Amino acid sequence: MPIPLLSFPSDLLRDIFKGCDPFDLYQLSECSKRTRKSIMTNTSKNNWKIKGNDKKIGVLCGNVRYRFIKTTTPTSYYEYSQVNRFYGDWSERVKGMFIPYPNGGFTELFVYLVDTFRIRTVNELRSPNETAPSCSFDQYLELMRSVIDRELDVERLCCDTKGDKCAIANFMELSNQINVTEAFHCDQPFPPGFQHQFTRFPIQILLKGASTISKIFEIFISIDAEFWVRKKTLLDNSPKITRS
């Protein structure tokens, strides 16, 4: 017996959507523009987190990870379930669903899910690299701008892209506008004389910079000011870091 869902008052819709997982809400949002709008309006703020690349986008809900896995054949829709065991008794349940990505690819779906589920936290925002070529670097920068526009928190911001030294300036500039809460990793070499002033400070900053003698410096900079000043002297060709 069908139920006219959209005839329910909004407080009831909120209660119903509370009982739906990200897969249900995604499928529902695909039904029509009105249902997606209804989800966006009637979904209460949640503590879900998102991360992903071109192959899969994960939405973390407590200790369950819902993976939206890319497929080119829409008929291969199914779910799987596995349990990842981590430290001690803590385990993570993983559920997967195969879906075709939209024309805009990974970045379009990422933003679609953020908006539909009203996600406020990005678990990890990682630039495309050889192992995870999620999108072009320009698209990645566009994704960073979307994150900034939506004022999302980012737990880990990572830049692994090799080669394009010009792009790093844009990346570093945008990174200052993102609220990175846990870690900032940059694995890309900086151009000579490059300067950057951090205005936001996560718990951990990791920079890798190749010097003129091809020596790799890897430093962990603590938020502790003294430690920071001591460590930054090790930088050679890396950005000159000053605290605002």
Q: Interface residues with other proteins (CB under 8 A)?
A: 1-6, 8-9, 11-12, 15-20, 23-24, 27-28, 30-35, 77, 79
- Residue closer to other proteins (CB basis): 31 or 234: 31
- Residue closer to other proteins (CB basis): 75 or 214: 75
- Residue closer to other proteins (CB basis): 32 or 197: 32
CB of 32 to other proteins, least distance (A): 5
CB of 134 to other proteins, least distance (A): 25
CB of 180 to other proteins, least distance (A): 35
Contact between 113 and 26 under an 8 Å Cβ cutoff? The reply is yes
Contact between 181 and 204 under an 8 Å Cβ cutoff? The reply is no
Positive or negative: CA dihedral 66, 68, 74, 80:
negative
- Residue closer to other proteins (CB basis): 27 or 139: 27
CB of 61 to other proteins, least distance (A): 14
Contact between 180 and 200 under an 8 Å Cβ cutoff? The reply is yes
Residue 43 to residues 31, 48, 156, 160, 215: CA-CA distances in angstroms?
17, 12, 25, 34, 51
CB of 176 to other proteins, least distance (A): 40
Number of helical H runs and strand E runs in the chain: 7, 12
- Strands 204-210 and 216-222, by their bridges, are antiparallel
Q: At what angle do helices 10-18 and 33-42 cross, to 10 degrees?
A: 90
- Residue closer to other proteins (CB basis): 72 or 212: 72
Residue 194 tokens, joined: 């490059």
- Residue closer to other proteins (CB basis): 11 or 89: 11
Helix (H), strand (E) at residue 60: strand 56-61
CB of 89 to other proteins, least distance (A): 22
- Residue closer to other proteins (CB basis): 93 or 232: 93
CB of 79 to other proteins, least distance (A): 7
Q: What is the largest CA-CA distance in the chain?
A: 73
Q: At what angle do helices 33-42 and 22-29 cross, to 10 degrees?
A: 140
Positive or negative: CA dihedral 67, 68, 72, 75:
positive
